[in-house]
Copies of this chain bind each other. A is one copy, B any other.
Amino acid sequence: MTELSNTTQPHCVVIGIGPGTGAACARKFSNEGYRVSIISRSDERLTAFAKDIPNTMPYRADLADSENYRAVLERIVHEQGVPQVVIHNATQATFGTYTEIPLEKFNRNFTVNTTALLVTAQVFGPMMAAQGQGSIVVTGNTAALRGKPSYVGWAPTKAAQRILAEALARELGPQGIHVAYVIIDAAIDMPFARRRRQDWADEDFAKPDDLASEIYRVAQQPKSAWSFLVELRPFKENW
């Protein structure tokens, strides 16, 4: 099903590209010499980022539709080759307390946050394992570690994602594939976060470029010193 690309540039897939961590990762891997397949469900975003970041190839996919998503991943492999690095960054959240969460949104959040990661692994895992190397880095946040009332519609699905990543890490690790889960314990410096926290200082926010550098670095860890759970927070963060 796969064709090797005729280029020697390594290939990175960034799943879920928005103005924060996703775009910064695409830019970082591009700067480091990777061709970068970027995935979003928004054509507008894809067009803008593909124009803005060199060596990116846009792919539209809806992670809430697992079969559509699987087909897009397979098309990426067909057109761009097996990736050396996958950044799984897409997430979907619903906020509110337990009486307010519609079941269909709860289930959709699981499909986007957890089932999609299983699809990512099912498509790329065996191919990467056949090559004996590669990295899958999943981004999460503290919701993956604990449940608080207003996060009831989101935290369970991120916890599920984290535990899925852990099972994948244990399965794929001995096959040479590094799976890591990065907990970003911070408000990420993005326009909407700035609007909601107008009294915050600049240094209170995690910078997407810094996060992307750390994610890049995790993806490059030597095989004798891998991290699975990685926590990243700004120096002033209260934790």
Interface residues, chain A, CB within 8 Å of chain B? Answer: 66, 97-99, 101, 103, 106-107, 110-111, 114-115, 118-119, 121-122, 125-126, 146-149, 151-152, 155-171, 173-174, 176, 178, 186, 189, 203, 205-207, 210-211, 213-214, 217, 221-237, 239
Contact = CB atoms under 8 A, between A and B. Distances in A.
A171 B231 CA distance: 18
Residue from A107, A158, A189, A205 having most chain B Cβ neighbours under 10 A: A107
Contacts of A225: 186, 206-207, 210-211, 213-214, 232-234
A147 B121 contact: no
Given A107-B115, A114-B156, 13 more contacts: A98-B122, A103-B118, A114-B160, A146-B163, A148-B170, A156-B159, A206-B225, A207-B222, A210-B225, A224-B235, A226-B234, A228-B233, A228-B239
B163 A155 contact: yes
A228 B148 CA distance: 13
A118 B228 CA distance: 29
